[in-house]
Amino acid sequence: MAPLVTIAIPTYNRPNYLKEAVASALAQTYPQIEILISQNPSADPEVTTAISKWCENLGRQHPQVRYQQNRSNLGLAANWNALVDAAQGEYLAFLGDDDRLLPQFVEILVNSIQSDTLVAFANHYIINALGDRLEAESYQYTQRYHRDRITPGLVAHPPAWAWQNSIPIAASLIRTKDVQRLRFRKDSNTIDTELFVRLAQEKGSFIFSPNYLSEFRIHEQSSSALGLRHESLVPYLIALPVSPEVEPYKREFISQKIVNAVSRCLLHGNREQANKLLHSEYYPATARNTPLGLLQNLCTTIPKPFGCNLYRLLHRANR
């Protein structure tokens, strides 16, 4: 029998984008789907009510749509975990409430999976705030994340691709029981990469389709545009053991995040953790003699209240 697929949509306060996301889920050519919407209540009660009423009405029109509202704002990762807990499908597709799926997204990926498949993933387009497709930027993203070098079909050595951030959660089907077991880490808003890194250590296959099957929206109010939190993610990733062949990819990935992690530690008064990360082997040597690197070194050297306060002051002035 064709497996049931849950299209999981976390939402907060973007009703217009949400309607586009749900419409793209309803337009899937694959029939065995459920659409699960989980809402973190907005700071604006009117927005929360508007989204709630729209989703409840949609559920009455379409039996495959289910809606749940969290009692409080759980944050990004916890809302995703709420979706994982409620999912009934054998596979999960996570659809941002500002993104869209192309009609054959589920059908193509489901037809590619095998009995031991953990993840099936594809390429995705980039769209702007108005929903216009950015073709050139889309292909640049494919190259930036090395998917142009992945052989279609069964993926050889998934950990190497996971550490290169090549697997986009915006264009993936993931086996539900594995996500329910591993779950998303609540202390980070870069939750997809570390999940794929952990999944790649499991016994099971990854499948790649070179088709462009979804649309990832870039705009000023996206979670990445509002700032990524790497201060808890980086120490966790540093501690993960990898094989010698994968170590260069791990080093490259962490080196891109660790400077931000040190900054956020200092901004939040955690000088000890900032100092530990600053002197990690993963902190890039090229960054140590930059103005930012020198400032971070200074602020982790002088006594805690003064070092962190100085960093906050200069950070505010720079912004």
At 133-192, the pLDDT tens digits run 999 999 999 999 999 999 999 999 999 999 999 999 999 999 999 999 999 887 766 778
CA–CA gap between residue 65 and residue 67 (Å, rounded): 7
Please count the other Cβ atoms lying within 10 Å of the Cβ belonging to residue 3: 15
CA–CA gap between residue 222 and residue 129 (Å, rounded): 10
Residue 212 within any structural domain of the chain = yes
Position of tokens 């794929």?
A: 196
Q: What is the DSSP string of 85-111?
A: HH--SSEEEE--TT-EE-TTHHHHHHH
SS3 category, 278: helix
CA–CA gap between residue 150 and residue 179 (Å, rounded): 24
Q: How confident is the model at residue 1 (pLDDT cuts 50, 70, 90)?
A: confident
105 and 254 fall within a common domain: no
Which secondary structure element, helix H or strand E, spans residue 154, and what is its range? strand 153-154
Q: What digits encode the pLDDT tens for the residues 253-289?
A: 999 999 999 999 999 999 999 999 999 999 999 999 9
Residue 240 within any structural domain of the chain = yes
Residue 227 within any structural domain of the chain = no
- The pLDDT of residue 156 is 95
Domain count along the chain: 2
pLDDT above 60: residue 290: yes
Strand 33-39 to strand 65-69: parallel, antiparallel, or no bridges (unpaired)?
A: parallel
Do 28 and 105 meet the contact criterion of CB atoms below 8 Å apart? yes
pLDDT above 80: residue 68: yes
153 and 273 fall within a common domain: no
Residues 297-310, mean pLDDT to the nearest whole number: 92
37 and 101 fall within a common domain: yes
Q: Which domain holds residue 311?
A: 233-318
Residue 223 within any structural domain of the chain = no
Query: What are residue 67's DSSP bridge partners?
Result: 37
Q: What digits encode the pLDDT tens for the residues 85-138?
A: 999 999 999 999 999 999 999 999 999 999 999 999 999 999 999 999 999 999
- Helices vs strands, H then E, count in the chain: 14, 10
Last residue of a domain, one of 217, 243, 270: 217
- The pLDDT of residue 42 is 87
Which secondary structure element, helix H or strand E, spans residue 300, and what is its range? helix 291-301
- The pLDDT of residue 225 is 46
87 and 193 fall within a common domain: yes
Sign of CA dihedral 121, 25, 19, 53: negative
- The pLDDT of residue 138 is 97
125 and 33 fall within a common domain: yes
Q: What digits encode the pLDDT tens for the residues 5-35?
A: 999 999 998 999 999 999 999 999 999 999 9
Last residue of a domain, one of 190, 217, 244: 217
193 and 46 fall within a common domain: yes
- Which residue type is seen at 271? R
Helix H, strand E, coil C: the string for 187-230 is CCCCHHHHHHHHHHCCCCEEEEEEEEEEEEECCCCCCCCCCCCC
Q: How confident is the model at residue 301 (pLDDT cuts 50, 70, 90)?
A: very high
The pTM of the full predicted model, rounded to 2 decimals, is 0.92
244 and 310 fall within a common domain: yes
Tell me phi and psi for residue 212, to 5 degrees: -95, 110
- The pLDDT of residue 198 is 93
The beta strands (E) that lie in the chain are given as: 5-11, 33-39, 65-69, 91-94, 100-101, 117-127, 133-134, 153-154, 172-175, 205-217
Q: What digits encode the pLDDT tens for the residues 207-256?
A: 999 999 999 999 876 665 445 678 888 999 999 999 999 999 999 999 99
Please count the other Cβ atoms lying within 10 Å of the Cβ belonging to residue 151: 9
137 and 178 fall within a common domain: yes
Tokens of 297: 């070194």
Last residue of a domain, one of 217, 252, 279: 217
